Amino acid sequence: MDNMQKATVGIVGLGLIGGSYAKALQENGKYRVLAYDIDNSVLGFAKMTGAINGSLIDENLPECDYLLIALYPQATESYLNANAHRIKKGALVVDTVGTKQGICLFGQQLAKEHGFIFCGGHPMAGTQFSGFKYARASLFHNAVMILTPKPNEDLHVLDKLKTFFLDCGFARINITTPEKHDEVIAFTSQLAHVVSNAYIKSPTALMQRNFSAGSYKDLTRVARLNEEMWTQLFMENKDNLLFELDTIIANLQEYRDALADEDAPRLKALLRDGRIIKERTLNGERNPH
C-alpha cells in the first residue's frame, strides 16, 4: 500500500513504549509512521532500521491522523501545550501516562479549544528496561490497552481507537474512567513498584547471591525503576497510593505481631486468608472479600 493511502501516525518519544508502537505499526503495514525524539541519534537509528518512515516536525504534525505521546507526565503536558494549535482537527491524540485524571483534564480541555480528540491511554505492557534498544513489535501482544475517553465519547471514535490499538497488537481494549483507572492502578502497579523498591533495601540483599529463586526475582524485578518518571506518577496519584500503602502497612503489622507474639494459629490464619484471596482473584471474582 502506498504511503499516500495510509493513515499517518505521529509518535512523540521513542523510548520503550513509543519505539514499540513504531515497530508494531510498521509490522502491521497499514500506517505511515513519523516520530520525534529529543535524542537525534535515537531518531536516526529508528529511521535506519525502518522503524519509522520519517521525522515528526512542526511542518508535518498537521498531517497526523493519530498522535501518540509517549513521554513522562510533565513532558506530555508541555508538548501538548506547545503543539495543540498544530494538531489536525479531528485527529485522535492518545497519551501513555500511567495516571489519568490530571492528563485527561488537561488534554481534553486543549482538545475542546483546538478541535482534536483526546483520549487517555495506558498500555499495560513493559519491561524493567527502558529505551528504544529494548523496543519490540511484539511488546503489546497479549496485553491490555486501557482507554479513558471523555464522558459520552462518540461510538465511532471509540471504534476507531479500538481498531487502531488492536492493529498495534493489543489483545484486549478496556474502557474506563480516569478516576477508576487511577484507583486501581495504585494497587496493581504503583504499590508493587514501591514495595519492590523498598524490599531490595534490606542489608541482606547484598548476601542473597546463590540463595535466591523465583520469588526473589519476581518481587524485585521492578525495583530497577526510573525514579524521575515514577516520582511524577506517584505524586500525581498521591491519595490513592497513600490508601494502598496504609493498607499494606497495616496488614504487614498483623503478620509481625503474630510472629512477635509467637501466635502460630493467628499467623496460619493470616496466611490462609491471603491464599484464599489470591485463589479467588485467579478465578476472576470481582470482590474477593
pLDDT digits (tens, 9 = 90+) for 218-260: 899 999 988 999 999 999 999 999 999 999 999 999 999 999 9
Nearest to 163 by CA among 33, 32, 25, 56: 25
pLDDT of residue 279: 93
pLDDT of residue 24: 97
pLDDT of residue 4: 58
Stretch 139-160: mean pLDDT: 96
Residue 284 pLDDT greater than 90, yes or no: no
* 208 contacts: CB under 8 Å, gap ≥ 6: 216
Q: Which residue has the cell 502491521?
A: 28
Residue 143 and residue 123: Cα distance in Å, rounded?
Answer: 8
The answer to whether 73 and 103 are in contact (CB under 8 A) is yes
Residue 128 and residue 191: Cα distance in Å, rounded?
Answer: 16
- The kind and range of the H/E element at 230 are helix 227-236
The answer to whether 132 and 45 are in contact (CB under 8 A) is yes
pLDDT of residue 200: 94
Residue 120 and residue 150: Cα distance in Å, rounded?
Answer: 8
Higher pLDDT, 159 or 128: 159
* Cell numbers that stand for 177 in this block: 474512567
77: left (phi over 0), alpha (psi -120 to 50) or beta: alpha
- What percentage of the chain exceeds 90 in pLDDT? 87
**Superfamily per CATH, domain 181-282:** 6-phosphogluconate dehydrogenase C-terminal like domain (1.10.3660.10)
Residue 127 — pLDDT band, cuts 50, 70, 90? confident
Residue 211 — pLDDT band, cuts 50, 70, 90? confident
Residue 90 and residue 146: Cα distance in Å, rounded?
Answer: 21
- What percentage of the chain exceeds 70 in pLDDT? 96
Q: Which residues pair with 9 in a beta bridge?
A: 33, 66
User: What is the residue-averaged pLDDT of the chain?
Assistant: 94
Stretch 134-149: mean pLDDT: 96
pLDDT digits (tens, 9 = 90+) for 80-92: 999 999 999 999 9
Q: Where along the chain do its domains lie?
A: 3-176, 181-282
Stretch 182-211: mean pLDDT: 92
Which of 127-131, 158-162, 190-194 is least confident?
A: 127-131
pLDDT of residue 288: 41
Residue 199 and residue 208: Cα distance in Å, rounded?
Answer: 13
Tell me, which fold does domain 3-176 have in CATH?
A: Rossmann fold (3.40.50)
Residue 203 pLDDT greater than 50, yes or no: yes
Distances (CA, A) of 46 to 73, 133, 252, 278, 286: 23, 10, 46, 42, 42
